[in-house]
Structure 1
Amino acid sequence: MNHPATAPEHPTPEAAATTEELPDVAPRLRELRRGRALTLEAAAARAGLSPAHLSRLETGRRQPSLPMLLGLARVYGTTVSELLGEEPPERDPVIRAARAEPVEADGWIYRQAGSSSGRAMQPLRVTVPYGAQGDLVRVHPGEEWIHVLEGRLRLGLGGAVHVLDPGDSAHFDSMTPHRLAAAGPGGAELLFVHTLLTSPIAELCLPGGAHRR
């Protein structure tokens, strides 16, 4: 009996869109892992991902969320901006609005708000659309500071839930399980600052990672 030939595998429209939106992320993730002499399994464990998921990120078949990029940046001792190839000149202290191109990751849209090369923290301006990433529980080393610019933000912190209005801020230990979501259909815009911990001691804490419930 003759069987029809298997059709060649083509990337899905979602995967193709991912490649167009974040063209440098997949090869950069692979290069950084190999440059750190980490196996796929070791890097995935430190970032709180499965090896299969990390493999899909490295081949561009899946789009990384912002929490995933944050976790992988810590594992590889770099920053999200550098992963995306958007780092400004290292010695330039001013980030011009026209140069802060928006980048989308799993529904969130964020813009660089500071140079993080050689710094202890990374600032971002983040747009959180309603319904995006609301089921992600984040746990990672360091501290976070959030300041709401527009809209309302729901912050789940440990066992408590806080609703932040424009002008409200939150500063907390990011080892406390936390969730971020827009509290209204108009979404929210915020300033988001997190510390960059890349020491071997910090990396030992990374398997907690960001989890989806």
Structure 2
Amino acid sequence: MPNRQEWNTVQNDSLTLIGPRLKSWREKRSMTLAELSETTGISTSTLSRLEAGKRAPNLELVVPIARALRLELDDIVPRTALDPRVSRTTKRIGEIQYETLSPESSPVQTYKVTFPANPAGVVAVPDPRVHDGQEWLYVLSGRLRLVLGEQDVTLGAGEAAEFDTRIPHWLAATGAGPAEVLSIFSKEGKRIHLRARPATRP
């Protein structure tokens, strides 16, 4: 139900849409002006003027109407869309570069990760990681080595992997150039198709 603080954020151009929206919702509920008047205690003439845009909407009118029609604020007034652009930041952990592609408040965190070139190859897996959640990887360019538990796979550009991060895992570029990866991390979510070929162990 709309409160005063939310109402104060409504733009003037949105206010003009409230009357027609209320009329549309009333008709969807198959309710006449007389029935809505009886339920809300607002005269039919006032309701008619409000729906026609001839009466300025206010909380004293809209709240009882919204209750009678079983509506929420979003049903009556479309919220102003926020700037969808993400403020991107870049950080390095060791030689690996992480570029944020989602806001910090998002339940799903997305990064563009660049793993440095590793032309000589790495035989040992120095530090497998374990943490709660699911991770999705999509290789944008280069070749990525993923060690997951007892599995050792190599993914090329255009290949994707999804795995439970509670399983010890380790990632690194393999080959002459760096590997750029789109990484999506969440505690829950749908699985993505895993298409990878076994790596040739050094």
Determine which structure has more spread, i.e. the larger CA radius of gyration.
2
Q: Which has the higher contact order (CA 8 A, sep 6+)?
A: 1
TM-score category of the 2 structures, normalised to the smaller one = 0.3 to 0.5
**TM-score normalized by structure 2?**
0.46
**TM-score normalized by structure 1?**
0.44
